[in-house]
Amino acid sequence: MFLIRLLIIAFIVGYCVWFISNKVLGKNLKMARVIAVTLVATSIVYLLLGSLSYLLEG
């Protein structure tokens, strides 16, 4: 179940980055990079906290 949740989160984040990059920003690459880095950083923090919770709670 834990792996399925990680795959779903990765899919959602990837879709959000793709959608914002292609549809909303267009040629504004600096803003696209900021948003992509923010989404990736947020996802990494979520995954780290989820992994710690999974390991500690068992």
CB-based contact 38:20 (threshold 8 Å): no
Q: How confident is the model at residue 16 (pLDDT cuts 50, 70, 90)?
A: confident
C-alpha 18: how far from its chain's center?
11
CB-based contact 28:58 (threshold 8 Å): no
Q: Where are the domains of the chain?
A: 2-57
Please give the pLDDT value at position 39: 81
CB-based contact 16:39 (threshold 8 Å): yes
CB-based contact 43:10 (threshold 8 Å): yes
Please give the pLDDT value at position 1: 65
> Could you tell me the pTM of the whole model?
0.53
